Amino acid sequence: MENVLESEDQHEETSCDDVNPALRFSPPLRPSIRMPVQRSSVCSRAYFVVVMVFFHVYILNVIALLLYVHYNNGHGDLSGGDRGSSAPSSEDGRPFPQPAPPPPAKEPLAGESRLSFTLPRIEGIRVGHVQSVSLVSSKTHKMKTLSLKPLLFEIPDFLSEEECRVVVQLAQLKGLMESQATLFGQEQEESNQPLLSLSTGEVFSLLDLNQDKLLQREEIVTHSRSRDGTWLSPDSLRQILAALESCTTGMLTLEEFKQVYNPSQRAGQQQSAKLWSHFKQKSKHTWLHQGAGSHHVLQTLRKRVTTLTRLPATLVDMSEPLQVVRYAPGDYSHAHHDSSPSHPETSCAHTRLAGNRSTLTEVSCRYLTVSLFLNSVDEGGDATFPVADNRTYEEQWLIQDGVDLTDTQETCFRGNLRIKPSAGTALLWYNHLSDGRGWMGELDEYSLHGDCPVSRGLKWVANSWVNVDPDLQQQTRYQRLVAQRRSSGREEHYQPLSHSELHQDL
């Protein structure tokens, strides 16, 4: 037994001494002696360091690339300092080529805004729909949809009773002229009601544009400037101007005005009624300027129309003046379109300043109409839309059983829609459809409208049109030319006679 133990000890000593040195560091056979935690920890730490080094190198490369692109596009350094000192350079020290700076942007003119706006349209929703609109700070107006073909709205109390009265008085003071369309062979007497029945105090208030209770020379000259009649007769004008020059203050009070103004010398009173006894006109009308220097009520009215239509103010301001129409008993207006269809051989009258091509004729281009009832008619005088909301529109349909529906004198009661005039009420309708790109499209044939004969009393209506050329480039050139004329002080006075000749009757 001892021999056996000794032989085993000797064997162990021999195996430990004679073992290969390379095998002395081999891992033990028992798993409990291995140290996986320490070896794994060392490997994980080294791997983490390598990954972080590569990550930082990648981030630095990305930042360097962004800086290179930024500088190479010519935007200057990030700090906003000297561009030449901070420009990136290549490896040999030469700066990277820099692109030429872009040309400075052209400052747009005041009238050159066609690229920045479109022509908005109010949604009708459905017939009878009522929506609220804010036109003045102290009141909310209700706007009712009357038809969808054409898109027609009614806004009660658009004007106050006082504003209606002032507009009528201004039209009377300006002087009314016969409409272009004339019916011969009808010998009817003119209305016996006086055309102008204003007191001297009312005339003074209308002439006093800024309402400071004083008359200045500029106010008198503004009222006398017209192409279709004058506010004041030449004699009255000379007397008032002479009184202004003799005044040390250069202004007239109401009492001083009463001493020089002679109501018997009103403009147009010298015309004899016999001149019109051989024919019957449909109506009388005049044009009222609404720009700088006009009566404050007229300027307020134009701003209110701008708010209602939601159109750019520059577009509304460049449109034609306010037309005021008076219908006496028996007067009427055949059904017609306010605007005209677009044809290659025609051009818009309002953009004639920008016309660079010869056309056969000039026509009226009116995107929309705002018609204002200035009084409540005693009897008759309804506004009529013969084909409003018809399922289809054909000119042949206008003749039914030998009766022409455009003849409002005979067939006014047969119109699809009639609106009784009420003082202060406004009607808004679109004469053109949209072209689908935010501009004016084709003529809306359903906008055919007229005025029924007045049976008793007078009817006063004011028409405010917004002129738009269907040719977008032509409208832009027109706005640019108007802006240039205004900036150079060469703005010409508007000639309303050309518009009175462009009312399109069927």
pLDDT of residue 3: 54
Give me the residue label for tokens 């590569």: 54
pTM more than 0.85: no
399-408: b (≥16 Cβ within 10 Å) or e: eeeeeebbbb
Average pLDDT over all residues of the chain: 76
How confident is the model over 214-237, as pLDDT tens digits? 988 888 776 654 434 445 666 677
What pLDDT is attached to residue 189?
Answer: 38
pLDDT > 90 fraction of the chain, expressed in percent and rounded: 41
In degrees, rounded to 5, the angle at the alpha carbon of residue 216 between the alpha carbons of residues 212 and 217 is: 160
Enumerate the β-bridge partners of residue 281. 182
Report the Cα–Cα distance between both ends of the chain, in Å, rounded. Answer: 143
Q: Cα(146)–Cα(129) distance, rounded to whole angstroms?
A: 8
Question: Distance between CA atoms of 366 and 119, rounded to whole angstroms?
Answer: 12
> What is the spatial distance between Cα 287 and Cα 303, in angstroms, rounded to a whole number?
17
108, pLDDT greater than 80: no
Give the list of residues 6+ apart from residue 278 with CB closer than 8 angstroms, or none.
Answer: 184, 187
**SS3 state of residue 496:** coil
Two structure tokens written together for 245: 């020059």
pLDDT in the model for residue 80? 38
3-class DSSP state for residue 284?
strand
Predicted confidence band of residue 55 (pLDDT cuts 50, 70, 90)? confident
Rounded to the nearest 5 degrees, what angle is found at the Cα of 24, between the Cα atoms of 18 and 29? Answer: 110
